[in-house]
Structures are given as C-alpha cells and as structure tokens.
C-alpha cells in the first residue's frame, strides 16, 4: 500500500488477490504435503571440506554442481528433496549424490544398502576423496565405494578454463546436443561396470566417462566429469525411462507443475512463466479451485496464468 492509503495501485491489488486465493485454498491444502521420488544429497560438512585450500580444481563450485541437477529435475517437473546422506533414503527411486568429497564410512554403507535394496544412485567425480577425519583412503577412489560402482578412479585431469574434452554415448542414452566435459575428468578403470559414455580425446580417449553398475537389486551410476546444463536434461530423460519415473502432468516444458497430496487427494499447481499463452491438453475432467470451473480437452493457459487443479470435478 502506498503512503496515501488508497490501495488502488497494481502491487496492492495483486497482493490482495493472492491473499483471497490463499484463503480460498486453505481448506483444500490442509494436511497435504509435497511427495518427491528423487533426492539430492547435501551435507554442510562436505561443503566445508570443499572450502579448504589446495583443492584439485579451484574452478569447481559445489553449489553450481548441485544446481545443474536441481534445475534439470525442476524444469522437467520432477519433485526433488534435499537430504543428508545419513537420513532414511529408502522412499526415493533415485538419489543424486554430486561430489560427496568427504564421505564417512557410515555414509558409504548407507548408500550401498540403498542400492542393494533396489534404489538407483547417481554419483559424480570428486566423491570419496577423504573420510570424516580428512584422510585420503588407501583402498582407491571413491572411498569405500569401488565395489558399489564397479570401478576405480586411478587419477583425474583438472581442465583449465576454456579447455574441454568431449563425450560419445552408447546404448539407450539419447542426446539432444554434443556434450562436452569440463573442469574435471576422472580416469576410470572399469571393474565390472557398464560404460555409458567415453572420452574422445587426450591420453584417456576411449576411457569411460559415465558408467553404470548393477549392485544387488539396484543400480549405481557414476559420472566422472562435469558438463553443461543440456547434458543434465538428457540425463533426466534417460533416468525417467530407466527407473519408471514420470512427470506430474504431461504439459509443455514452459509450464511449471507442482503437486501436494493427502491420501487419495492430489492438488496440482500449474504456472505459465511465458509472455504468451500455452495450450495444455487434459485427458480427464479437471476442477480449478481458483475459478470453480471444470474443464477437459484443450485449455489455453494465459500468459503468467495459474491453475490449481484436482482430478475429480466438484459437484
């Protein structure tokens, strides 16, 4: 509200509208929660360890690395939690563990148990370099996880600014771009794992860059380098097929979707971030709590428009 107290300006009207909408949605959203099938592991202890001087690559930033995974999941409308490696991870289909530089023995055991029981773990370079006492392992990198990933990292190549390697992919990993490796390249010695992608140049040309290993009832995927954002979009598409992970709703990529649920009730939030309308096709009747309307088939979501839906029309 401006100093004159009239409440006629745009900002006041928009905030007032949000307040009315929240009041309307409060009974619907009561006792609902966001349920995610994926998780990114993060610990402050690991973050602090990466802030120590004399890191293998001074260009590497853990937050930037995490953001690549989170953006790929968020932009493909896949809910994701953050958790510590010591928490109960059994409820997740996929766990992403980017650069767990410091890995305690108990944390390694927890990851093995998760995969052995049927989970899919995606880990990366700069994992298991030290234990909780900041001591490098005498049993190979990554510390206590060489059997889980079916490999050993023999050495790594920190790339200077502007220098890149490139990747070639095998099998069912379909790519939308030519993907380059930057900042860090692990030189991997396979010990039972399957190669998903290989480097194309330098003295380690032809060596694995991305691998997958069957461990118990689950899978352990290792990404030995860092790429641009487009790679992580392709990674999410591949993992969705591999792990039967489905987006919340089938909508264009420009529409953000989130969901809250309670028992059999599912409430979907749709946001159009574009300056132009987006056409969405609904295959069953949907009820919009903000307008009270029920619709199916094609619907044009206006620029910056919002829908709050459930799958059962109200009568």
How far is Cα 27 from Cα 265, in angstroms, rounded to an integer? 13
Provide the sign of the torsion angle of the four alpha carbons 201, 202, 207, 211, taken in this order: negative
Confidence of residue 313 (pLDDT cuts 50, 70, 90): very low
Predicted local confidence at residue 235, as pLDDT? 97
Is it the case that residue 218 has pLDDT exceeding 60? yes
Mean pLDDT, the chain, as a whole number?
91
Residue pair 63/95 in contact (Cβ under 8 Å)? The answer is no
Mean per-residue pLDDT for 73-101?
95
Dump pLDDT digits (tens) for 261-290: 988 889 999 999 999 999 999 988 999 999
Predicted local confidence at residue 108, as pLDDT? 93
For the chain, the residue count is 315
Query: How far, in whole angstroms, is CA 2 from its chain's centroid?
Result: 41
Domains of the chain plus CATH, in order, are: 1-30 (no CATH), 38-243 (3.40.50.880), 249-315 (2.60.40.1180)
How far is Cα 191 from Cα 176, in angstroms, rounded to an integer? 30
Residues 6+ apart with CB under 8 A from 288: 294, 295, 307, 308, 309
Predicted local confidence at residue 284, as pLDDT? 87
> In sequence order, what DSSP letters do the residues of 64-101 get, joined into one string?
HHHHHHHHHHHHTT--EEEE-TTS--TT-SEEEETT--
Predicted local confidence at residue 263, as pLDDT? 82
3-state helix, strand, coil in the chain (%, to 5): 25, 35, 45
Confidence of residue 1 (pLDDT cuts 50, 70, 90): low
Predicted local confidence at residue 152, as pLDDT? 96
Predicted local confidence at residue 94, as pLDDT? 98
> Beta strand pairing status for 225-226 and 151-158?
unpaired
Mean per-residue pLDDT for 142-155?
95
* Residue 273 DSSP SS3: coil
Predicted local confidence at residue 304, as pLDDT? 92
Is it the case that residue 233 has pLDDT exceeding 50? yes
Mean per-residue pLDDT for 27-33?
90
> Contacts by 25-30 with C-beta closer than 8 Å and gap 24+?
25/289, 25/290, 25/308, 28/267, 28/289, 28/308, 28/310, 29/260, 29/267
């Amino acid at each position: 509200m401006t100093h004159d107290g009239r409440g006629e300006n745009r900002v006041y009207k928009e905030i007032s509208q949000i307040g009315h909408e929240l009041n309307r949605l409060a009974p619907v959203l009561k006792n609902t929660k966001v349920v995610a099938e994926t998780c990114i592991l993060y610990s402050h202890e690991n973050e602090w360890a990466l802030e120590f001087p004399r890191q293998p690559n001074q260009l590497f930033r853990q937050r930037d690395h995490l953001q690549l995974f989170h953006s790929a999941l968020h932009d493909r409308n896949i809910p994701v939690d953050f958790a510590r490696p010591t928490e109960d991870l059994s409820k997740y289909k996929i766990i992403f563990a980017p650069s767990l530089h410091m890995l305690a023995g108990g944390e390694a055991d927890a990851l093995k148990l998760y995969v052995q029981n049927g989970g899919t773990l995606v880990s990366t370079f700069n994992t298991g370099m030290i234990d909780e006492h900041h001591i490098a392992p005498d049993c190979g990198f990554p510390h206590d996880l060489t059997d889980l990933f079916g490999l050993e990292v023999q050495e790594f190549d920190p790339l200077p600014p502007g220098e890149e390697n490139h990747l070639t992919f095998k099998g069912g990993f379909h790519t939308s771009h030519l993907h380059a490796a930057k900042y860090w390249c692990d030189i991997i010695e396979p010990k039972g794992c399957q190669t998903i992608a290989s480097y194309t140049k330098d003295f380690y040309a032809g060596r694995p860059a991305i691998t997958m290993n069957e461990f118990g009832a689950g899978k352990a995927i290792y990404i030995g380098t860092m790429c641009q954002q487009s790679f992580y979009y392709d990674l999410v598409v591949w993992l969705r097929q591999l792990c039967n992970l489905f987006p919340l709703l089938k909508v264009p990529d420009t529409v953000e979707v989130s969901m809250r649920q309670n028992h059999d009730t599912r409430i979907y939030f749709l946001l159009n971030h574009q300056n132009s309308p987006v056409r969405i096709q609904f295959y069953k009747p949907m009820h919009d709590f903000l307008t009270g309307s029920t619709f199916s088939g094609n619907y044009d979501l206006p620029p910056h428009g919002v829908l709050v839906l459930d799958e059962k029309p109200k009568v």
